[in-house]
Amino acid sequence: MGYERQPDLGTPESRSSEQVSLTIDGRDVTVPAGTSVMRAARECGGDIPSLCATDSVKAFGSCRMCLVEIEGRRGTPASCTTPVEPGMVVHTQTDRLAKLRRGVMELYISDHPLDCLTCSANNDCELQDTAAEVGLRDVRYGYEGANHLGTAPDLSNPYFLFAPDKCIACSRCVRACDEVQGTLALTVDGRGFASVISAGTKEDNFLSSECVSCGACVQACPTSALMEKSVKQLGKPERSVVTTCAYCGVGCTFRAEMKGEQLVRMVPWKDGKANRGHSCVKGRFAWGYANHQDRITKPMVRESIDQPWQEVSWEEAIGFAAGRIKAIKAQYGARALGGITSSRCTNEETFLVQKLVRAGFGSNNTDTCARVCHSPTGYGLKTTFGTSAGTQDFDSVEHSDVILVIGANPTDGHPVFASRMKRRLREGAKLIVIDPRRIDLVRSPHIEAAHHLPLQPGTNVAVLTAMAHVIVTEGLVDAEFIRARCDWDEYQDWARFVSDESHSPETLEPVTRVPAAELRAAARLFATGGNGAIYYGLGVTEHSQGSSTVMAIANLAMATGNIGRPGVGVNPLRGQNNVQGACDMGSFPHELSGYRHVSDSNARSLFEQDWGVSLDPEPGLRINNMLDAAVDGTFKAIYIQGEDILQSDPNTQHVADGLRAMDCVIVHDLFLNETANYAHVFLPGSTFLEKNGTFTNAERRIQPVRKVMEPANGYEDWEVTQFLANAIGGEWDYSHPSQILDEIARLTPTFKGVSWDMLEERGSIQWPVNDQFPDGAPVMHVDGFAGGPDGKGRGKFVVTEYVPTDEKTGPRFPLLLTTGRILSHYNVGAQTRRTANTAWHPEDLLEMHPVDAENRGLKDGDWTRLASRTGETTLRVKVTDRVAPGVVYTTFHHPATQANVVTTDYSDWATNCPEYKVTAVQVTPSNGPTDWQEDYEEFSERSRRIAHREPAE
Amino acid sequence: MSAAQTDDKLVYMANQIARNFAVQGDEAAVTATADHIKMFWDPRMISAIIDGDRAGLSAIALQAVESLRS
């Protein structure tokens, strides 16, 4: 498509089922009751000039531009604040209105610079358009009076500027910040002529204020007062492509606005069903990494990791890799080979990597980064509900009455969904937060959790069992739902277990450190407060009892009847953009796409016939098992697409030992990441802007990713995998990801009805898409649970006993370290560290309670040594009471910190998902980096050397 | 790290699985533990635990590993 603004209907959509018919300028129109006259006029093809109205926020009625005449009514009401009525006869264009509008416009323009030709909003400005619509020809007042011209712009935000002289004080930015983002950082300071938009206090600028740089204000601004710096620099885009963001599991739809091959800006797309027109600082602005100087665009190889890299042709690199793979297979057998698929890449690319491993290498040693984040979700929800996925769509939160957030920090990790959740909370839904840390949601403007249970890290199962104890013993279960939908005997076993006095909040209080009365109140609220929805994240899964916690959550939802309709459900907030997809695509070593075990001969034979090979019927190795096997000498080669396991996986030194022991490490990535320090082959990857395919977000929504520019490295990632497959004897001939998607649909029952054409037509769809659900399934388990015949399976209650982790505090390591993320950075930071997002978070900090800090003589900003039984690192301390005494917290976005040097080998009992969230540590004052940090930095520099080839004479 | 350490790790993993199933009662826990290992472990891990030193295995894990032999 070319470049034009997405239509703006002026005021939000009405959800009323009642229809109202009226006449506007002689045209008959029927709209839902509650619709504004402005919106009705725009829906029937007309337009009413306006400045302060935009359909992302409620009508405000301040600009006096949208006045209309209504027969039988006095005066000229504002059409944005006037709801339609049956039989209303509206005139939007009369001489009287024209005169009024022109008069108002004249006042606006008397205090606005007339530099349209050199303005960054030239030809893309609502003020300019409105001036044209009302036929403004003169400003009788002149420009000599008091005005705001010549004021200095606020350039503090790295991505957008605020130019007060271009501001018309319509307050759309303030209202977008309030209503859409929910941060309430902006305000109109002063009154009347003195009104100015202000971020924070008088001393603040946009960067120092509470602004989270989501871009909603920039999106809402009708002029160039709030404008992307990239547009100011590059000019107006000339074409645009709708695509899906590649950051978190929310999966926002954006329009990439382009000039040739240059991305000018990313603008959230209102029709995106995950984000509904909203965005965060990462997806909206942090795309500069795609053209960062660190990006590697030429393939490279080296005989051993102590040598510098040699740039080679694609043929040489693929030949080198294939040669090593074939030699290793001949000497050690297929099970010495493996691969890791990426939750960053598309479904199609992920599917091909696991196909390469299973069909090409001949082993089932395929795993994915979901191993280290949401593998317990897969196990836990499959066991209880029969399918490994969240039960709802994001729209569901609009119908929730009680929202329980456990082990998730949505305002940082899933900001766009958090904004939607906060909107519901401002409407009156109640909030329960279970988290060791006082996350922002607990108390922020206009939001306060009814209950915050600051549990001791590692006691999730104890807390949830205690909640179940209260619900069962106080008779708050939904017996009707359980009888109808679940196995009654299993329920009774579970109910007996949780009812035992040993699971009461009072008995468990010394373990969980959650006040029993508060826990009881929270449990009662969840069971009796109406639609109860549970949202959880890695604070649930990344524990030695991650899978048990997921099942305990499922138990709680079933016991209270909170499954199978909008507003309820169990909702894992997925970390990366395509974690759900990577799991769906058969990335795990024990299962084929659609969660079918490799030992299932029916499923296997489907693939064997399609691919013309025989497949290993035994499960393969998981990532951590691959590393163990490498150290033992039975695992020799790995192909890693788009994951930096050295930085992201626990116990960094063990990962390094495993990689160092291999004969062939192939890294396929955008950058020479930390893992590449141990690689023999580097295959340059492509960004999400450079490829076609699909991502599946946390709500099971399959969304198209569209190529907006040519890959800087020459090839989309699926093409590179195909090169490698063909070099080891595969006969693949895909020419477009749609063909791979067809193969996925052919081989995966839950994807049966999905095709590229269907996605082009519908925009997106939530799996399962099959004969039973041809339009997908926004809410799952409506009539029966997914497992079982015809999708009428019964929910399974699983008794989850609290088993404390073996990672214990003691005299040497008296504190518990837990880890997390921050808004401005994403995962290991490979992308966001290469953008201006570092303005907000230049380094990882260790959060510590004032009491613990004082005991150690530490003050804010001091360097500290953070040591566990596994290793040690240094970083600076931030003293804050957000963490409880005895608990410290840090992020893992920066390789210099290497927070995973201290995390342990402990992992979830069912899936081996690492226990990132609990490490016993000691913190002491420090003078500087540890030996490991210094050695690693030197090693890292050495191993990143590239010997550039001399040009041929 | 050596193969012996990997064996220790497998014993730890088997015990951890058994410990989490223990609440089901011994008999069911043995079956569940054995099934879990069969479902999720690579064949070389299964052989290693069958052939390895079983001294560190808990009662349930030990019986589960015994049952894997057949």
pLDDT, tens digit (0-9, with 9 covering 90-100), for A588-600: 999 999 999 999 9
Reduced to 3 states, what is the DSSP secondary structure of residue B48? helix
The sign of the dihedral angle between the CA atoms of A428, A434, A435, A438 is positive
Are residues A803 and B36, on separate chains, in Cβ contact within 8 Å? no
pLDDT, tens digit (0-9, with 9 covering 90-100), for A695-738: 999 999 999 999 999 999 999 999 999 999 999 999 999 999 99
* Nearest by CB: B20 against A335, A634, A909: A909
Minimal-distance CA residue of chain B relative to A461: B20
Are residues A618 and B42, on separate chains, in Cβ contact within 8 Å? yes
* C-alpha count within 13 angstroms, C-beta hemisphere, residue A882: 17
Q: What is the pLDDT along chain B (70 residues), one digit of tens a residue?
A: 455 688 899 999 999 999 999 999 999 999 999 999 999 999 999 999 999 998 999 999 999 999 998 7
Are residues B20 and A801, on separate chains, in Cβ contact within 8 Å? yes
Written in H, E and C, the secondary structure of A754-769 is: CCHHHHHHHCCEECCC
Which residues are CB-neighbours of A559 under 8 A, at least 6 positions away?
A468, A471, A472, A477, A478, A482, A491, A495, A527, A797
Are residues A589 and B42, on separate chains, in Cβ contact within 8 Å? yes
Instruction: Decide if B22 touches A, using CB distance below 8 A.
Output: yes
pLDDT reading at A581 higher than 90 = yes
**CA distance, residue B38 to nearest chain A CA (Å):** 8
Chain B hits for A654, CB-CB cut-off 8 Å, are 1
pLDDT, tens digit (0-9, with 9 covering 90-100), for A511-525: 999 999 999 999 999
Mutant choice from A801, A802, A905, A912 vs B, greatest count of B C-beta within 10 A? A801
Chain B hits for A910, CB-CB cut-off 8 Å, are 17, 20, 36, 40
Predicted local confidence at residue B1, as pLDDT? 40
The order of strands in the sheet holding A946-947 is A366-368, A337-341, A637-641, A664-669, A681-684, A300-301, A309-311, A946-947
Instruction: Decide if B6 touches A, using CB distance below 8 A.
Output: yes
- The token pair that represents B1 in the structure block: 């790290």
Chain A hits for B2, CB-CB cut-off 8 Å, are 631-632
Predicted local confidence at residue A45, as pLDDT? 86
Reduced to 3 states, what is the DSSP secondary structure of residue A571? strand
* C-alpha count within 13 angstroms, C-beta hemisphere, residue A158: 16
Please report the ipTM that was assigned to this predicted complex. Answer: 0.95
**CA distance, residue B14 to nearest chain A CA (Å):** 9
* Nearest by CB: B1 against A364, A657, A910: A657
Task: Map out the domains of chain B as residue ranges.
Answer: 3-67
Cis previous bond, A768, omega within 30: yes
* Nearest by CB: A628 against B6, B17, B39: B6
Chain A hits for B19, CB-CB cut-off 8 Å, are 803, 909
Could you tell me the pTM of the whole model?
0.95
Chain A hits for B1, CB-CB cut-off 8 Å, are 628, 631, 654, 657
Chain B hits for A619, CB-CB cut-off 8 Å, are 39-42
% pLDDT > 70, chain A: 99
Instruction: Decide if B51 touches A, using CB distance below 8 A.
Output: no
pLDDT, tens digit (0-9, with 9 covering 90-100), for A286-340: 999 998 999 999 999 999 999 999 999 999 999 999 999 999 999 999 999 999 9
Minimal-distance CA residue of chain B relative to A590: B40
The more confident residue out of A889 and A939 is: A889
pLDDT, tens digit (0-9, with 9 covering 90-100), for A749-798: 999 999 999 999 999 999 999 999 999 999 999 988 986 666 678 999 99
Instruction: Decide if B31 touches A, using CB distance below 8 A.
Output: no
Chain A hits for B61, CB-CB cut-off 8 Å, are none
DSSP A837: G
The more confident residue out of A950 and A68 is: A68
* C-alpha count within 13 angstroms, C-beta hemisphere, residue A125: 25
Predicted local confidence at residue A147, as pLDDT? 85
Predicted local confidence at residue A948, as pLDDT? 74
Q: What is the longest distance spanned by two Cα atoms in chain A? A: 91
Q: Which of A784, A785, A768, A786 is nearest to A776 (CA)?
A: A768
Predicted local confidence at residue B58, as pLDDT? 97
Can you say whether residue A938 is alpha, beta or left, with left for phi > 0 and alpha for psi between -120 and 50 degrees? alpha
Are residues B22 and A801, on separate chains, in Cβ contact within 8 Å? yes
pLDDT, tens digit (0-9, with 9 covering 90-100), for A117-136: 999 999 999 999 999 999 99
Minimal-distance CA residue of chain B relative to A599: B39
Query: Whose structure tokens read 């109205």?
Result: A53
Chain B hits for A338, CB-CB cut-off 8 Å, are none
Provide DSSP, A342-411.
-SSS-HHHHHHHHHIIIIII-S--EEEGGGGTTHHHHHHHHHHHSSSS-S--GGGGGG-SEEEEES--HH
Overall average pLDDT of the A421-437 stretch: 97
Minimal-distance CA residue of chain B relative to A653: B1
Mutant choice from A490, A625, A626, A798 vs B, greatest count of B C-beta within 10 A? A625
Query: Whose structure tokens read 């009774």?
Result: A492
Amino acid at B65: V
pLDDT reading at A567 higher than 90 = yes
E strand or H helix at A725: helix A717-727
Instruction: Decide if B55 touches A, using CB distance below 8 A.
Output: no
Give the integer Cα–Cα distance in Å for A400 and A406: 16
User: Can you name the residues that pair with A241 across neighbouring β-strands?
Assistant: A256
Predicted local confidence at residue A639, as pLDDT? 98
Chain A hits for B28, CB-CB cut-off 8 Å, are none
* Nearest by CB: B40 against A497, A548, A619: A619
Written in H, E and C, the secondary structure of A75-139 is: CCCECCCCECCCCCEEECCCHHHHHHHHHHHHHHHHCCCCCHHHCCCCCCCHHHHHHHHHCCCCC
pLDDT, tens digit (0-9, with 9 covering 90-100), for A898-938: 778 888 889 999 999 999 999 999 999 988 777 877 888 88
Give the integer Cα–Cα distance in Å for A185 and A209: 7
The sign of the dihedral angle between the CA atoms of A503, A504, A507, A509 is positive
Chain A hits for B40, CB-CB cut-off 8 Å, are 590, 619, 622, 910-911
Instruction: Decide if B23 touches A, using CB distance below 8 A.
Output: yes
- The token pair that represents B41 in the structure block: 């472990």
Overall average pLDDT of the A846-874 stretch: 94
Overall average pLDDT of the A85-112 stretch: 95
- Pure H helices in A191-258: 216-220, 229-234
Amino acid at A547: S
Are residues B41 and A597, on separate chains, in Cβ contact within 8 Å? no
Most confident residue range from A130-144, A157-171, A637-651? A157-171
pLDDT, tens digit (0-9, with 9 covering 90-100), for A610-639: 999 999 999 999 999 999 999 999 999 999
Chain A hits for B9, CB-CB cut-off 8 Å, are 628, 905
% pLDDT > 90, chain A: 86
Instruction: Decide if B7 touches A, using CB distance below 8 A.
Output: no
Give the integer Cα–Cα distance in Å for A886 and A849: 8
Amino acid at A752: K
pLDDT category of residue A1 using cuts at 50, 70 and 90:
low
Predicted local confidence at residue A786, as pLDDT? 80
Chain B hits for A335, CB-CB cut-off 8 Å, are 42-44
Considering chain A, what is the average pLDDT of its residues?
94
Are residues B1 and A597, on separate chains, in Cβ contact within 8 Å? no
Predicted local confidence at residue B17, as pLDDT? 97
Mutant choice from B10, B11, B20 vs A, greatest count of A C-beta within 10 A? B20
Are residues B40 and A590, on separate chains, in Cβ contact within 8 Å? yes
pLDDT reading at A647 higher than 80 = yes
Are residues B3 and A632, on separate chains, in Cβ contact within 8 Å? yes
